[in-house]
Structure 1
Amino acid sequence: MSNVEVLFQITPVSHLNDGVIAQKIDLKTKPQGSLGKLESLALQIARIQGAECLKINAPTMLVFAGDHGIAREGISIAPSEVTAQMVQNFANGGAAINVFCRQLGWQLEVIDCGILTPSKAEGICLQRLGAGTQAIHLAPAMDIATVDKGFEMARQLVERHCQAGCNLIGIGEMGIGNSSAASAIMAAILKLDVKDCVGRGTGISTEVLARKTELLELALRRHQSELDSPKQILAHLGGFEIVQMTGAMLAAAERDMLTVVDGFIATAAALVAVAIAPNVRDYLIFAHQSEEQGHQAMLAHLQAKPLLDLGLRLGEGTGAALALPLIQAAANFYNQMASFSDAGIEAVV
Structure 2
Amino acid sequence: MSKLNETISRITDLNKEAIKKAQQHLDILTKPQGSLGILEDIVKQLAGITGNPMPKLGEKVVIIMAGDHGVVEEGVSAFPQEVTYQMVLNFLAGGAAINVLSRHAGAKIVCCDIGIAVDVKHPDLIIKKVRHGTNNMTKGPAMSRSEAIRAVEAGIEVAEEQIAKGATILATGDMGIGNTTPSSAILKVFTGCPIEKAVGRGTGLNDNGLARKAMVINRAIEINNPDPGDPIDVLSKVGGLEIAGLTGVILGSAAHKIPVVIDGFISTAAAMIAGKIEPKAINYMIASHVSEEPGHKLMLETLGLSPILHMKMRLGEGTGAALAFHIIDAATHVQSEMATFESAGVTTAPLTID
TM-score, L = length of structure 2: 0.95
Contiguous gaps of at least 5 residues in structure 1: none
Aligned match of 1:330: 331
Letter aligned with residue 122 of structure 1: P
Displacement of 1:227 in angstroms is 4.7
Displacement of 1:85 in angstroms is 0.7
Q: Distance in 2 between matches of 1:227 and 1:305?
A: 23
Does the CA-based 8 Å contact 1:67-1:177 persist in structure 2?
Answer: yes
Cα distance, 1:269–1:348 mapped onto 2, change above 3 Å: farther
Aligned match of 1:268: 269
Displacement of 1:79 in angstroms is 0.8
- Partner secondary structure for residue 59 of structure 2: coil
Aligned residues: 347
- Partner secondary structure for residue 79 of structure 1: coil
Aligned match of 1:91: 92
Matched, 1:309 2:288: no
Instruction: Point out the more displaced range, 252-261 or 118-127.
Output: 118-127
Cα distance, 1:296–1:146 mapped onto 2, change above 3 Å: same
Displacement of 1:16 in angstroms is 3.5
Cα distance, 1:152–1:347 mapped onto 2, change above 3 Å: same
Aligned match of 2:23: 22
- Partner secondary structure for residue 187 of structure 1: helix
Aligned match of 2:223: 222
Displacement of 1:15 in angstroms is 2.0
Displacement of 1:101 in angstroms is 1.2
Q: Distance in 2 between matches of 1:155 and 1:202?
A: 28
Does the CA-based 8 Å contact 2:79-2:177 persist in structure 1?
Answer: yes
Q: Distance in 1 between matches of 2:207 and 2:309?
A: 28
Letter aligned with residue 33 of structure 2: Q
User: What's the C-alpha RMSD, in Å, of the aligned pairs?
Assistant: 1.5
Letter aligned with residue 58 of structure 1: E
- Partner secondary structure for residue 94 of structure 1: coil
Instruction: Point out the more displaced range, 151-160 or 290-299.
Output: 151-160
Does the CA-based 8 Å contact 1:242-1:269 persist in structure 2?
Answer: yes
Aligned match of 2:251: 250
Displacement of 1:19 in angstroms is 3.3
Cα distance, 1:324–1:225 mapped onto 2, change above 3 Å: closer
Aligned match of 2:4: 6
Displacement of 1:335 in angstroms is 1.1
Aligned match of 2:205: 204
Q: Distance in 1 between matches of 2:131 and 2:257?
A: 30
Letter aligned with residue 198 of structure 2: C
Does the CA-based 8 Å contact 1:30-1:348 persist in structure 2?
Answer: no
Cα distance, 1:73–1:107 mapped onto 2, change above 3 Å: same
Q: Deviations over 1:6-36 (max 9, x none)?
A: 2122011132443332121121111122211
Q: Distance in 2 between matches of 1:295 and 1:170?
A: 17
Q: Distance in 2 between matches of 1:158 and 1:19?
A: 29
Aligned match of 1:78: 79
Instruction: Point out the more displaced range, 149-158 or 223-232.
Output: 223-232
Does the CA-based 8 Å contact 1:37-1:307 persist in structure 2?
Answer: yes
Cα distance, 1:264–1:348 mapped onto 2, change above 3 Å: farther
Does the CA-based 8 Å contact 2:3-2:153 persist in structure 1?
Answer: no
Does the CA-based 8 Å contact 1:114-1:240 persist in structure 2?
Answer: yes
Aligned match of 1:157: 158
Q: Deviations over 1:204-244 (max 9, x none)?
A: 11100000000100111112265540010000011010000
TM-score, L = length of structure 1: 0.96
Matched, 1:128 2:129: yes
Aligned match of 1:108: 109
Aligned match of 1:280: 281
Matched, 1:141 2:142: yes
Q: Distance in 2 between matches of 1:237 and 1:27?
A: 50
Q: Distance in 2 between matches of 1:178 and 1:45?
A: 30
Displacement of 1:151 in angstroms is 2.0
Cα distance, 1:103–1:19 mapped onto 2, change above 3 Å: closer
Does the CA-based 8 Å contact 2:168-2:259 persist in structure 1?
Answer: yes
- Partner secondary structure for residue 167 of structure 2: coil
Aligned match of 1:61: 62
Q: Deviations over 1:152-177 (max 9, x none)?
A: 21222111111111120010101000
Q: Deviations over 1:85-142 (max 9, x none)?
A: 1111111111001111112110110111111101113311111111110111111010
Instruction: Point out the more displaced range, 225-234 or 301-310.
Output: 225-234
Does the CA-based 8 Å contact 1:32-1:348 persist in structure 2?
Answer: no
- Partner secondary structure for residue 310 of structure 1: coil
Displacement of 1:193 in angstroms is 2.5
Does the CA-based 8 Å contact 1:112-1:127 persist in structure 2?
Answer: yes
Cα distance, 1:317–1:347 mapped onto 2, change above 3 Å: same
Does the CA-based 8 Å contact 1:197-1:294 persist in structure 2?
Answer: yes
Letter aligned with residue 65 of structure 1: A
Cα distance, 1:17–1:101 mapped onto 2, change above 3 Å: closer
Aligned match of 1:44: 45
